[in-house]
Structure formats: C-alpha cells, structure tokens
Amino acid sequence: MKNFLVSAGCISLIFITAVIAAGQSVELPAFLKTDVGARIDAYFSAFNAGDEPMKEFFLANIAPESLKLRPVEPRVAFHRQVRNDFQKVKIEKVLSATATEVKLVAKAANGAAINYSFQIDPESKKIKALGIEPVEGEDATPASHIPAPATKAEFTKTAGTFFDDLAKADAFSGVVVVTKGDETIFSKAYGMASVEDKIPNRLDTRFNIGSINKDFTRIAIGQLIKQGKLKWNDKLISVLPDYPIKEAAQKITIGQLVTMTSGIGDFVNDKFWSMDRKNLRGLKDYLELFGSSPLLFEPGTSRRYSNGGYVVLGLVIEKLSGMSYYDYVKKNIYKPAGMNDSGSDFTDALAANTAFGYTTHHRSEPGRGRNAMVLLGRSSSAGGGYSTAGDLLKFVTAIRNKTLEIPDDDGTFPARFAGIGSAGGMEGANSLVETDERSGYTVIVLSNIDPPSAERPGIQLMRWLRNIKE
C-alpha cells in the first residue's frame, strides 16, 4: 500500500490516526502531527539537547509503571552512552506504527543508521518501553561504497584510502595499527594531538583509552584469585567492610562486580557534573559520587554497564595488594607486558606526547573543543588511562604468549581472555582493540575525537580481514 502523502493544506488527524492504528507506514510529516508522533519527536529533541532535557522528558513522558521498573537516572545514564556513540540523531523514516508500537529508523550525525522501537500505552499515549539497535548491514557500514579487499596487499591500499577519506571528512583523528602475528600490515597516524599548538598525532602518541582499562582491572582481580587472596563468589563485605552501604556489600559478590550484575550504577551523575572534577585524584574520590546510592536492582538479577562497580574492584585490588591500584597495574600488568608508555597520569602532569580529546558535546558554538572530561584529576579503575597503539599491541602479544599472568580457565575466574575484543569511549576519546585468534590478525584504532570514530572503522577493518584470501 502506498504511503500516506501530506498535502500543503489542512490534514485530517483522524485519518492519520486510523492509518497508524492499522500499522501502515506513514510519511514522516503526517506522523509528527499525531499525539504519539509529537511525543516521539520531543524524545529526539531532548536526546539531542543533553542530560537535563532528557530527564525532564522521561519524567513527563514515560508511563508511571515503567518508571517504577527503571527510574530516570539510569535511563539518562544509558542515553548519555548512546549520545557519546551517535552524537545528534534525527528521525529518517517511520517503518510501522500502531496504537501500541512505533518502529522507525533514525540517522546519527556520524552517519550511523539506528533502529528505534517505542512501546506505547494506548490510553495515555505515553512510552512504556524503548528499544535502540544499530542497523546491521550496508546502511550501518561507513565503507559500503568501497569494494572489499580480496588480498592482504589490497587490504593495505583499501585501509589507506578508507582512513584518508575519514580524516579528510573530519571523521577520524588518531592512530591505526593492523598486524598479523609479528607482521605490521598497516600503520598510520592522522590529525592533531593538539589543535591549538599544531602538534600532529604520531604512531607513538598516547591516547585516552577509556574503558579498555577495565581489561587491566579484570586481569588484576583474576591474578588475586589465582594467588588465593580472593574468590569469585566472595562477598564484597568480606574485603571492604567499610563500604558505605553495608546491606549492599553483604549481597554483592566479586564475580557480580566483574560481570556488571551487582546493581551498582555509574559515577557520572549530577554530583559528578556539578563538582570540580580536578579533585578526582584517587578511587575513594570516585566512590563518594555513588557509594551511598541505592542499587539499581537486586544483585544477580540483571545486568547494567557499571563504571561504579569497576571503581569498587579497584578498591578491592588496593585493599588486598597493599598498594594503590595504579601502582599494582604498573607492576603486575604494564611492566611484564613491556608497556612503558601506559599509565593513569594526573591531568596536571600529562606526558608531552599525549593527545588532547576534542568533542562536539556541551558546546555553545559549532565544531569541536577540548574535552571538559580532561579536567579529571586522575582516571580510575573503570577507565580513562592513557596508552599507545604500540603498548596495546604488546598487551595483546603478552596475553597470546602467556608472558603476562592472566587467570587460567579452570573455573575460578569465568571471564576469559582468549581473543581480545575491547573498546572504550567518552567525549573526545574512542579506542578499539580487536583480535582474530584464528587468523592472528590484530586491529588497534585510537582516536581523540568523539565515538564511534575508532570503533566503527576498526570493526570494518576486521570484517575485511576475516574475508581476505591468504
């Protein structure tokens, strides 16, 4: 059936509503004139405007029973992560619409296509549930116009063209390294480490690697378990008896912290944004932001991405090792792996070859500015440390060669490290480390602009590599 076309004149909202009720596709201008369409349009406006408008939207437009199941704060935190990945988003087309469900495709500022599904309460017209999923296939691929390489030689040329185009379009700034075993297939630096000082990125530039630091935290916990100082099912209270909410610490296990099923949320909250973030100089400073907050759910009953949980794991490492988290990782992970250019520097003492992050978020004028997050006094065990592509390659090699002590797969530490696939991102930083153990390929992409500037092209590189002929 043909789509309903909107004329320049007056339009019958009753007719439009009837079309929606029947589940037919609807032209976007017509859809936005309905109550449900206006509400969904307001959702995207709030999403693009930031945390506070998003919070106000949820309070006014989410069905009360849904807010009881998932309060506003975790909803805002989740959408903050989505905004970091996709930046601003605009409705592109409505796929289907009924009185209880709307499905549509939106387009992100970085070109990504995203599927949205809205479950609607037919009486109040409020939103009961919301699903967000990147579109798979050609529409989601930033290189769909580039023929896939068939050989390693073609891959090198294609990768060069691909990233040259991204850099020219101001969609990438950073470093790319691709290897097969000991052979480097492609490596190149793009963009500026400091725009203000006109310092270009180099292959040995240090980048903020975001949540890739969580890999180091997991390995450290695994080492302590392997040494008999800790068990997967130990209760948090047994290690940190002074945890702010004792009732929570009596329920949460170490394994739940590792797998993000503890119910502990994020530290990027209202307190975080309102404080002088240069005062965050140690893990206990981060704990004060969330340690007294109620759990998001009963431990073990759900899973939610948890920066706070990984801060707590860092405190566990400090308590059992008798040294700071930063010193433990330096001694037990960086040093044996040969990672001499990695660390969690104080922001006021960054190494000279460190790239500054540049973001389009939280700005009153167009374009990118230096990331306000760089004002953190020091990163945490949840992420935000610095490394180079060379050091991350050493990390992968140390795991492959077992020169770095990691948990054995004997059941005491179920989170395995065979086949590294890790990413990190925040405003002004994005990173990807991905390996294919069958072929021996490793892809490392580090960027000092907003996500998904490293992840999306890095994943594309690995797709090509898995299909080339040897």
Please give the pLDDT value at position 429.
Answer: 93
- Residue 64, both tokens: 């009360």
What residue ranges define each of the domains in the chain, with the CATH number in brackets? 13-139 (3.10.450.50), 207-465 (3.40.710.10)
The phi and psi torsions of 235 (rounded to 5 degrees) equal -80, 145
CA torsion angle 45 47 52 58 (round to 10): 90
The answer to whether 234 and 224 are in contact (CB under 8 A) is no
Distance CA 450, CA 437 (A): 29
Residue of 366, 364, 365, 451 lying closest to 171 (CA atoms)? 451
pLDDT in single tens digits along all 470 residues of the chain: 222 222 222 333 333 344 444 444 568 888 888 889 999 999 999 999 988 899 999 999 999 888 877 778 778 877 876 776 677 899 999 988 888 889 999 988 767 788 898 999 988 889 988 888 776 544 444 555 688 899 999 999 999 999 999 999 899 999 999 999 999 999 999 999 999 999 999 999 999 999 999 999 999 999 999 999 999 999 999 999 999 999 999 999 999 999 999 999 889 887 887 888 899 999 999 999 999 999 989 999 988 889 999 999 999 999 999 999 999 999 999 999 999 999 998 988 889 899 999 988 766 677 788 886 667 899 999 999 999 999 999 999 998 888 888 776 566 666 555 556 688 888 899 999 999 888 889 999 999 998 889 998 999 999 999 888 76
Distance CA 230, CA 163 (A): 45
Distance CA 296, CA 305 (A): 11
- Residue 366, both tokens: 């167009």
Distance CA 377, CA 302 (A): 32
CA torsion angle 328 330 336 337 (round to 10): 130
Please give the pLDDT value at position 421.
Answer: 66
The answer to whether 425 and 438 are in contact (CB under 8 A) is no
Distance CA 360, CA 54 (A): 18
Helices (H) and strands (E) in the chain, counts: 18, 15
- Residue 76, both tokens: 């805002």
pTM summary value: 0.74
- Residue 113, both tokens: 């296509």
Residue of 341, 370, 375 lying closest to 356 (CA atoms)? 370
The answer to whether 54 and 46 are in contact (CB under 8 A) is yes
The answer to whether 175 and 190 are in contact (CB under 8 A) is yes
Please give the pLDDT value at position 251.
Answer: 97
SS3 state of residue 374: helix
Residue of 225, 226, 252, 224 lying closest to 238 (CA atoms)? 252
Please give the pLDDT value at position 439.
Answer: 87
- With vertex at residue 157, the alpha carbon angle to CA 156 and CA 162, rounded to the nearest 5 degrees, is 100
SS3 state of residue 453: coil
The answer to whether 114 and 134 are in contact (CB under 8 A) is yes
SS3 state of residue 324: coil
